[in-house]
Amino acid sequence: MADKGTVNEAADEAVEPEMSYEESREALNDVVRRLESGGLSLKDSLALWERGEELARVCEQWLEGARAKLAAAMDEREEGVPADRETPF
């Protein structure tokens, strides 16, 4: 069973805006593991759930940023490719 202070401290920490996608994803996986293991009070479970939601938002922001960069790169590439050479193959 987890120490209540540890759970509350982890849930109260603000997710750092500078957290990388990988750090955020790993922290989210840890939250999920802790919730699935059970043995937490309802209050601690809710605190962890809220932290998980925040971490999921951070991950989604990273993914949306990556999608936008990829779309911009694809648009730029398509603008520079002659119509008869639309594919690299």
How confident is residue 85, by pLDDT bands cut at 50, 70 and 90?
low
> Rounded CA gap, 50 and 29, in Å?
14
How confident is residue 30, by pLDDT bands cut at 50, 70 and 90?
very high
Q: Looking at 1-5, 23-27, 52-56, which range is the least confident one?
A: 1-5
Q: What is the pLDDT of residue 82?
A: 59
How confident is residue 18, by pLDDT bands cut at 50, 70 and 90?
confident
Contact 59, 21 (CB under 8 A): yes
Distances in Å between the Cα of 66 and the Cα atoms of 52, 72, 73 are 21, 10, 11
DSSP single-letter state for residue 84:
G
Of 51, 68, 52, 66, the C-alpha closest to 21 is 66
Residues recorded for the chain: 89
